[in-house]
A and B are shown apart, each in its own frame.
Chain A
Amino acid sequence: MTTEQKTDTVKITVDGLEMEARPGDLLIRVAQDNGVYIPRFCWHPRMRPVGMCRMCLVQVEGPRGPMIVPACTTPVADGMVVDTQNDTVAKAQEGVLEYLLINHPLDCPVCDRGGECPLQDQTMAYGPGESRFVEEKRHYEKPIQISELVLLDRERCILCARCTRFSEEISGDPLIEFIGRGYNTQVNTFPNEPFRSYFSGNTVQICPVGALLGAPYRFRARPWDLREVASTCPHCSAGDSISVQVSQNEVLRLLGVDNPHTNQSWLSDKCRFGYEFVNSAERLAAPLVRGSDGELREATWVEALDIVADRLGGILREHGGGAVAGLGGARGTNEDAYAFSKFMRTVVGSNHVDARMDDAPASQFLAAVVDRARIDDIDSAATIVVWGPDLKEEHPTLYLRVRAAATGFDPNQVVSNSDGLKIRRPGARLIVMHPRRTGLDDVARHVLRYRPGAGGELLTSLQAGDHPEIDEALAAGPVVALVGRASMTEDPRLAENVAAWLRDKGAKILPLARRANTFGALDMGLAPDLLPGRVPVGEGFESWGEIPTTVGRDTRGILEGLRDGDIKALIMVGADPVADVPDSHLATEALANAEFVVAIDMFHTESTAYADVILPALGFAEKEGTVTNLEGRVQKVNDIVAGEGQSRADWSILDDIARRLGKELGFATAAEIAKEISEVAPAYRGITWDLLEWDEPMGAIVPYGDATQPLQYVPVTTSLPTVAAEMVLHSARTLYDDGVLMRHTPWLHRLAPGAAAYLHPDDAFRLGAREGHRVRVVTKHAEAELEVRLDETLHRGVVYVPFNQPDGPRLGSDPIVRVTAIG
């Protein structure tokens, strides 16, 4: 044994086992990390301890003899000697369990938690065999619906404060709280204020009993009937780790998995409850072809694929590869995206391909910006800049992470019960630039609001040093900047300009784009200027033989080409440009004018209405592969249910079309594609499924190991025009919207805020409109009548209309707007 005593570790003894730990770490965590499990209900590794349930009582030798203390609030100190099992401790723990059980209804047979319940498990392990309580138990109405998604059974509740702490400390929307006191304490919502939180489902997952219940899962399965597989969230680009749980070939529940690099076990409700589409009755089950009467009819795969090959082949022969374009690929796996990219380049011979729906920043910026931050850089940043979408709406788990950093949240913090920020480690300085209130404003040090179309102007003034407080914050590095497109009506180049400025200030950049696998798709070459593995088009990429070397058209260019007749055919892979492209009118004209459109999709969409052939695709939980998140982390997704009807994987459909066109993509399984990616895509060299399953279960960052990234994209400042108009339009996405997956997930679809015209009260007054009145909103290409909602956080002269809402208007990307009162 070495005599050297390191100052940054302490030695403690737990049940005779010696353990090393950092001083100040909580005893319960140190013991667990070293293999001694101390029972607990209220302590959660991602939340601050409260020491309320008292289940984790252990004996610690103190200067005044043995003391019984809760392990969850006791920081370790050098030489500490702990007994977690002696008779005194065992009696104390049994006593606590008896207390928790005297009022517990023991309705385990009808409780969702039965079979996976910490109260059941710990009663087995540490509890009394029978009850000495002969009085009447506490009764409450059971259960009560506290939101559209969550029910609460207060009789089962053991008052551990996990849900209330989560809402207050983690998600920042404290909508459930303890009311009453003592024996009559209960968890409840405030009167007339439902638990309408984007993160409410986390409380269901962390509830140690069946008190909080997820409405979509309630009574659907017993835990022992569930099969599960690890996977990655299909809804946003943070790459949240999840467990997919299935019974009888139906996805019934998703749970958050603690990946320290991404979601730290949390999920937004969109991810948690957003699986209903998989089981939707409206899934496409068989290929559809459009007959000469213009109506779609079911066809066999052979017939449908023959038609596609025939029509595409004809166009290719007549007009060449440049007449065919591809859209989509951001909703599938990297393997599917690679196959689509290879199909477009080697079979079609076209670089007109884009996974972005004209709503994201430049592809090279997203794929290869240097210096790129990692998500966990947020934790240690001194300053965080968010200039882009409202993270709460578009990147909910990043929102949680930034929020924690800004509040100085530390799950090891024992001094609690006060939000006096001074007693915590100081939070990062958070700077938020956005056209209106965002979910993070309440924890931000600086909030700058601006009018869409004037982002460049704000940036210029920042560069000119007009905001010394921002300069000062940026000088206090390390700085992490989350940069994306804040508004559909803002110049898409603004993000790169912002990144260029911040990079000069020493910030690391985390680029933002919303659709789940946008970053994977771009890395696979689903962009007019990119090839697999972050290789720019035109630079050496030998593996595919001869491929077009000039940069192709992006989504807007493709749609304009289709409209103008330069492009004849369109292949859509999980793409719905009519709904997703901000300038919907352009997408509509383009699709209407296309000679031939083939769609590979899970559902009918507004865009498939223009398709000549629709091929049913496998979706989430039905196929195995990899995805890449916004920091470049590659993770597995796995299959656990059979696909709907005759649906097939995108890559296999494309391979069949290729064969009919006389070429081969050259793989027979998704695993073979993954192997090929790991061999030919430079930044992805060495990333195999084996690696992700065994060596890097939390994902591998690209470029991995000694792999190289040929494209090093350094953003530069360009000059941006400022839009001058009396009123400008702000259009941004909301967490729940009318996207195709949400539309087929009724639990969430009905929670979309809906279309409305949000106006600053001054503007509304000027227009003579009040809350609830209707106004006419007229843009360059569209107009709509909308209900007025007042929003004093808006910049004056801005009307905000949430993007892509059920029955909502499609107002386009032009910021100039005219608003008039009706009647």
Chain B
Amino acid sequence: MTLTTSFERPLVVTKRMVDYPNDSHTLERYRATGGYEGARKALGMTRDELVELVKESGLLGRGGAAFSAGMKWSLLAPARPAYLIVNGDESEPGTFKDRQLIERDPHQIIEGTIIAAWANEVNHAFIYIRGEYAKPARRLQAAIDEAYAAGILGDDVLGTGYRLDITVHLGAGAYICGEETALINSLEGRRGEPRLKPPYFPAAIGLYGQPTIVNNIETVSNLPHILVNGVDWYKGLGHPEDTGTFMISLSGHVNRPGNYELPHGITWRQLFEEVGGGIRNGNELKMWIPGGASAPWFTPEEHLDLEITKGAAAGAGSMLGSGAVIVMDETTCVVRAAERVVRFFAHESCGECTPCREGTSWLEMILRRIEAGQGRPIDADLLLDVSDNINIGLTFPPRQTTICPLGPSATSPIMSIMNYYKDEVLQHIELGRCPFS
């Protein structure tokens, strides 16, 4: 889609699909547009050179934690075999960027996987895809089959003698399997439950007890471009502290929801007005979730002119996370909105840790009760205290008292509504009904 924006909007990972919407997923088109040149270049480099290059590029993981991709690679323990897992288990409400990358540019993922695998001395990579993404997975598998047939994968990758196999694995519908250690358990055929930390990184002990790198679909999709165009080019694309572009899945009450590849450093106002085409029906913006269901919410009063960077979001007590931005206008009931997000976490809790298993569902029940007009005066405090017992001190990022951050994440919407819209919550209780109904 062509957009007119006041800022420059370079396209990297979505360029091909924008330019060639009909056949961007084919090997033929991919090759015709410079495909696999990055991998060719990478295969001529050493592991150390590649780790250094990616570190220098400033590429941050796009799965939510925004950890330096090059740094993650450098933590790989020496034992072999090592494994690479490309994480395409995007399951958070409002996140749908990986899906488009998989469907529209699967060879870009394969090329990125080759680069990451070579850099980490991996001969077998797994691409773990959300169970509901059956169709994207089929398209990816078709591309992999094409790549094998063309000598791009297999025993002799691009004629270099390097051996790499890629296995596509479909999850079984659990959000928690996006957490890398739960993903590894799932891949091993176990219950999708996060593993104890330490080890903090699977790079030490991961799949089958071996060193394992887990990178997001979008992260690896960036690699071919960094290889071909160079570090300086990549750093020049975005914000000095937050290089490159990133995908935002914009949804909710905007006129033009969708996936957008954007440079870091624009403001939220630019995002909503220029990219999203404004709030629907000319309504007032009430609040938005800036980076996936785990992120504390932003409000127009405080955050509209904030730059969209990792640092600015963190400074305001939230995060960019997985790039899922959900916009809510003035017609939105905050209790109902929070209940919906908490319900998601309660539904997706693996049940391993007591606070998450019991606490998230309890929060959901309390919110539902308030929304149904059966709130008690103590419920506002109860919401906060039950949250405090999952996320001690009610901080963000949480002081994690559970094995993984899922449970504490469920307290983000509670904190947000109690911070900004406590009156609206109390109004529910006083009226004995939802003021929006």
A267 adjacent to chain B (CB < 8 Å): no
Selecting from B100-108, B145-153, B204-212, the interface stretch reads B204-212
Q: Report A396-436 residues with CB < 8 Å from chain B CB.
A: 414-418, 420-423
Say how far A40's CB is from chain B's closest CB, in angstroms. 12
A159 adjacent to chain B (CB < 8 Å): yes
Q: Would A420 and B209 be within 8 Å (CB), given that A52-B354, A102-B362 are in contact? A: yes
A467 adjacent to chain B (CB < 8 Å): no
Q: Would A423 and B362 be within 8 Å (CB), given that A180-B351, A182-B351 are in contact? A: no
A144-B150 Cα distance, complex, nearest whole Å: 58
A420-B361 Cα distance, complex, nearest whole Å: 33
B339 adjacent to chain A (CB < 8 Å): no
Neighbouring A residues of B353 by C-beta, 8 Å: 51-54
Closest B residue, CB atoms, query A160: B354
Determine which of B191, B362, B382 lies in contact with A178 in the assembled complex, contact meaning CB atoms within 8 Å: B191
In the complex, are the beta carbons of A51 and B389 less than 8 A apart? no
Mask, A140-180, CB within 8 Å of B = 1, is 00000000000000000011000000000000000001101
A677-B210 Cα distance, complex, nearest whole Å: 58
Chain A interface secondary structure, helix, strand, loop or mixed? loop
A701 adjacent to chain B (CB < 8 Å): no
Say how far A253's CB is from chain B's closest CB, in angstroms. 29
Say how far B47's CB is from chain A's closest CB, in angstroms. 22
A416-B195 Cα distance, complex, nearest whole Å: 7
B129 adjacent to chain A (CB < 8 Å): no
Neighbouring A residues of B369 by C-beta, 8 Å: 135
A227 adjacent to chain B (CB < 8 Å): no
In the complex, are the beta carbons of B358 and A103 less than 8 A apart? yes
Closest A residue, CB atoms, query B204: A415
In the complex, are the beta carbons of A159 and B351 less than 8 A apart? yes
B403 adjacent to chain A (CB < 8 Å): yes
Neighbouring A residues of B32 by C-beta, 8 Å: none
Mask, A172-202, CB within 8 Å of B = 1, is 0000011011111100000000000000000
A133 adjacent to chain B (CB < 8 Å): yes
Determine which of A52, A98, A422 lies in contact with B209 in the assembled complex, contact meaning CB atoms within 8 Å: A422
A369 adjacent to chain B (CB < 8 Å): no
Q: Would A421 and B359 be within 8 Å (CB), given that A181-B350, A182-B349 are in contact? A: no
Chain B interface secondary structure, helix, strand, loop or mixed? loop
Determine which of A54, A95, A182 lies in contact with B350 in the assembled complex, contact meaning CB atoms within 8 Å: A182
Say how far A25's CB is from chain B's closest CB, in angstroms. 15
Neighbouring A residues of B376 by C-beta, 8 Å: 134
Chain B: interface residue count, which band?
Answer: 35 or more
In the complex, are the beta carbons of A181 and B349 less than 8 A apart? yes
Q: Would A182 and B354 be within 8 Å (CB), given that A49-B196, A420-B210 are in contact? A: no
Determine which of A100, A158, A177, A414 lies in contact with B198 in the assembled complex, contact meaning CB atoms within 8 Å: A414
Closest B residue, CB atoms, query A132: B382
A423-B184 Cα distance, complex, nearest whole Å: 14
In the complex, are the beta carbons of A53 and B354 less than 8 A apart? yes
Neighbouring B residues of A219 by C-beta, 8 Å: none
Determine which of A57, A103, A182, A417 lies in contact with B195 in the assembled complex, contact meaning CB atoms within 8 Å: A417
A182-B350 Cα distance, complex, nearest whole Å: 5
In the complex, are the beta carbons of A135 and B351 less than 8 A apart? no
A182-B173 Cα distance, complex, nearest whole Å: 13
Mask, A94-136, CB within 8 Å of B = 1, is 0110111011000000000000000000000000000011110
Other than the known A92-B389, A99-B355, A420-B188, what 7 A-B pairs have Cβ atoms closer than 8 Å? A52-B354, A54-B354, A88-B392, A99-B357, A159-B354, A180-B351, A183-B358
Seen from chain B, the residues whose Cβ lies within 8 Å of a Cβ on chain A are 79, 174, 176, 181, 184-185, 188, 190-193, 195-196, 198-199, 205, 208-210, 346-355, 357-362, 365, 369, 376, 378, 382, 388-390, 392-393, 399, 401-403
> 14 A-B pairs, CB-CB below 8 angstroms?
A68-B399, A68-B401, A95-B355, A96-B354, A177-B191, A178-B191, A181-B176, A182-B357, A185-B357, A415-B205, A417-B185, A418-B188, A420-B208, A421-B209
